[in-house]
A and B are shown apart, each in its own frame.
Chain A
Amino acid sequence: MASPQMVMYDEEFRQINIVIEKLLREANAKVIFLVDKNGQLISGVGEVERFDTTSLASLTAGNIAATGGLAKLIGEKEFSILFHEGEKDNLHISIVGGRVILVVLFDNRSSLGLVRLRVKKASDELTIIFDGLMQKAEEKEKSGTTDFPFAEITDDDIDNLFS
């Protein structure tokens, strides 16, 4: 495999949500998403029910991948921050710990400066959590104590999905 399996556990999920909920309040944002670089939604807080989160996650990852490609073409490692300004709502997209994407949606009740400032602080906290998560997943894999539920699935389980 090209990169290790992405895994999320309850404990880290709670820690991550605490950080992004705090960011939501402090940055006066409407919604915050965390997305895996492959386009899979990790978590979201705020007015999430108003948005198609799956599509947002996929397009955000595509966006980051495309700008990452542009960066490499001009000799940059990556563009770690993207900002999209709309008439009412704006998107601040940043890469956290080189691995996950933090998306902050905000309107004129906040400002780009405030969002940038708060995102920077939250990113440091998130990086620590994700580093720990990676380490935990690796240790579990090494020790063979994976509680992965798919190890015991049968062909029938798989067939039932399609029935």
Chain B
Amino acid sequence: MSFINYASREINCKIVYYGPGLCGKTTNLQYVYQKTAADAKGKMISLATETERTLFFDFLPLALGEIRGFKTRFHLYTVPGQVFYDASRKLILKGVDGVVFVADSQEERYDANIESLDNLRFNLAEQGYDLDKIPYIVQYNKRDLPNAMSVEEMRVDLNPTGVPEFEACAATGEGVFETLKAVAKLILIDLKRG
């Protein structure tokens, strides 16, 4: 749920990166943080364990620029991917405007992807959202790994509805901004519809 502030002429939107543990959600945000100009980003916050696993969320505020005199801000969040942090994942989905599902392309993580996607759909429904009706993007991450499945194979279960999808390697940054731009664009188009 975006927040439109006529007083300060700002519009704030929330994007959530979802996906199984170690799929690269935090890495996506870290890359965006590294490559964004200092005046367009805020501080990146990571609530993580000592072993750098996301415990609650990562948060990165971005200011994209102005549309019709309104400053456009996007707040990027990741969820903790590990299965047992489900209660935290639900909280982070509150008020979401757009979702990026980061899939791990490695063959041995395929079941984890499917489980996470089911979990996303279920948790969104609990908050009153329908995954098929909100701005939503699929990212196939870790394309550089030798054990990566083909996108054609992954698409069958992970993108049956044919939403915009991107191949990525978040560690090197490939596909990261393409994914972010696509979801931001879908959110703005959604806002335009009202």
Q: Which residues of A contact B (CB under 8 A)?
A: 1-10, 12-14, 36-40, 42, 52, 54-55, 58-59, 62, 65-66, 68-69, 146-153, 157-158, 160-162
Contacts and interface: CB of A to CB of B under 8 A. Distances in A.
B160 interface: no
Interface string B3-31: 11111100110100000000000000000
Given A150-B11, A157-B68, A58 B94 contact: no
Given A38-B95, A39-B75, A8 B2 contact: no
Interface string B76-113: 00000000000110111011000000000000000000
B67 A10 contact: no
Interface stretch (B40-48, B139-147, B151-159): B40-48
B188 interface: yes
A59 B56 CA distance: 10
Contacts of A37: 94-95
Q: Is the interface of B mostly helix, strand, loop or mixed?
A: mixed
Nearest to A163: B65
Contacts of A54: 42-43, 61
Contacts of B95: 2-3, 36-39
Residue with the highest number of chain A CB atoms closer than 10 Å, among B4, B45, B191, B194: B4
Contacts of A8: 3-8
Interface centre among A1, A3, A12, A52 (most CB of B within 10 A): A1
